Structures are given as structure tokens and as C-alpha cells.
Amino acid sequence: MFQGFYKVRFQLNDVVGRSVMYAHAGKLLGGNSAFAHIGTYQEEDGTVTVEVNTVRHNHDPNYKAMAGTDDATLIARGRLDGGLYRFEGALNEVPGAVFKSVMTPINDAIVPVFGAVGEGGIVNGLYSIHIRLLDGVDGGLTGVMLLNDGRILGGDASFYYLGTYVSSKGRWKGEILNQEHTQATGENSIFGGHEVGIGFSGTCSSDGAEMEATALAGKRSLRLQAVLKLMRKA
């Protein structure tokens, strides 16, 4: 079956992008450093039909919209091919352009789920996450994070996140494992090449959360802050 956690390489004509995506119960939730990808899928006789909308969460002008507009709609069909799903389709906003993508499964079972969410805990859903390094260290990351009953799945164009959390009474805390799915360069290079363990705690509300964390990247310990904003309830 199609459902699961994937890294995605997609291409519109000659322009290439990458993201992560979670497929479950007919819903698609994912994204990358600048956009959330929110949609649906149907599976019939081995063919998967998807409709995905893009929503910008990072307004840095260096992240340009592939379709030329922040709000775009993709219609595509795909099939399983040797353990991968390959799709072809088009964007409504770019008539005549050819869209192709490859979705590769990520083993999301390597981190056991021990989390629990009580009264006043963080809301299940897809969040944007903007991370800033502290103590005078330049750099940061932006991406998306799916929270669901104590489990974390997420990522961006270069990394994916797996983790667990507990939450109640406006607080939450947990652990995240950050790993590369595609070689990272530039602003992301501080985490590149490392399996990064992150322990965090912070506050949450009905529409977002904040956290402070310590990340261990190789032999280097880094402090960071992050802001999460709810984009779609799950």
C-alpha cells in the first residue's frame, strides 16, 4: 500500500525540488524549507492518484515558487516501481509543463513511540518549524513537522525528522533524531553528514508551539530555539 513516510524528489520541466511526505488514510501532509504540501490520494488497482496544494510558510525571497505562484495545485498519477513510487502529472498554474516525482520510503519505525498527549496538550497536525541557532552560531533550518499523539515525523529538502514527545497543560517535551536524506550544503551544512540527536522542551497552544533544545551534531553541542505554527489539523 501507498501509505507511509517518504522523501520526495520532484521536477517541473528542468526545475528540481525535494521534500518529505506522509501518506495515511487518504491524506497527504508534508513539505520542505519553504512550502507545506497538503493534499489527498486515492489508490485503485495499483494506481495512486494525488491532488496536492502548496502553501508557503517561509517568506524568504531566496526560496522561489516552482510554479511561479505560492499557491499551486498538482494533479498526478503514479505506481509502485521496484520499491519506489513514480508519478507524472501537471500543475494547474503552469499549462503544458510536465511534472515528475519519485517517492522513496523512509523507515520511520526506528524510533519507538513512547509519547502521550493529555488535556491542554499540543494539537495533532502539520506545523511549519523555524529553527534558530543560539550562542552566536550562525545558521538555522526551516521545514515542516507532523505531530500525532506523541509521534514526530517531518523534514525539509535535505533532512528528515523522527521523534516522540509528551504534552499536557500547555507544555511539551521530547526527543528528535535529525538525519540527511539528500546531501546538505550552504546554510544547512552545520547538521550535514551527522545523525543529530535533539532533546527539547517548551510551551504550546491551540495554534502553535515554541521550544528550546540542545542538539548533538557529531562532537559538537548546539543550543537552539524553534517556533512552530499549525498549518493543518490532522
Q: What's the domain range around 166?
A: 116-233
- Residue in 141, 139, 124, 110 with CA at minimum distance from that of residue 32: 141
Phi, psi of 107 (to 5 degrees): -75, 100
- Does residue 95 sit within a domain? yes
Residues 149, 174 within the same domain? yes
pLDDT, residue 111, reads 64
Same domain, 199 and 129: yes
3-state SS, 67-109, equals CCCCCCEEEEEEEEECCEEEEEEEECCCCCCCEEEEEEECCCC
Query: How far is 9 from 157, CA to CA, in rounded Å?
Result: 9
Separation between Cα atoms, residue 209 and residue 215, nearest integer Å: 18
Q: What three-state secondary structure class fits 188?
A: helix
118-138: pLDDT as tens digits? 999 999 999 999 999 999 888
Q: Which of 51, 82, 105 is the last residue of a domain?
A: 105
The CATH number for 49's domain is 2.40.128.380
Query: Would the pLDDT of 230 be above 60?
Result: yes
Number of domains in the chain: 2
Q: Per residue in 34-78, pLDDT tens?
A: 999 999 999 999 999 999 999 999 999 999 998 889 999 999 999
pLDDT recorded at residue 138:
83
Structure confidence at residue 185 (pLDDT): 64
Q: Are residues 148 and 198 in the same domain?
A: yes
Summarised one tens digit per residue, pLDDT across range 137-194 is 888 889 999 999 999 999 999 999 999 999 999 999 999 999 999 887 655 566 777 7
131 in the same domain as 85: no
- Note whether residue 89 is domain-resident: yes
> How confident is the model at residue 190, as a pLDDT?
66
Sign of CA dihedral 179, 113, 51, 67: negative
Q: For residue 100, what are the contacts with CB-CB under 8 A and spacing of at least 6?
A: 10, 11, 86, 87, 88
pTM of the full structure = 0.93
Report the pLDDT value the prediction gives residue 116, as an integer from 0 to 100.
86
Are 101 and 194 within one domain? no
**Which pLDDT value is given to residue 37?**
98
Q: Is residue 111 part of a domain?
A: no
Q: Is the pLDDT of residue 28 over 60?
A: yes
pLDDT score of 91 more than 80: yes
Which three-class secondary structure state does DSSP give residue 62? coil
Phi, psi of 75 (to 5 degrees): -120, 125
| Main-chain phi, psi angles of 179, to 5 degrees | -135, 155
Q: What is the pLDDT of residue 110?
A: 67
Residue 112: Cβ within 10 Å count:
8
Q: At 87, is the pLDDT very low, low, confident or very high (cuts 50, 70, 90)?
A: very high
Q: Does 112 score more than 80 pLDDT?
A: no
DSSP 116-185: EE-TT-PPPEEEEEEEEE-TT---EEEEEEEEETTEEEEE-SSEEEEEEEEEETTEEEEEEEEEESS---
Residues 130, 133, 138, 141, CA torsion sign:
negative
Q: What CA–CA distance (Å, rounded) separates 37 from 146? A: 12
Q: Count other Cβ atoms within 10 Å, centred on residue 109.
A: 10
Higher pLDDT, 112 or 69: 69
Which residue, 199, 151, 160, is CA-closest to 176?
199
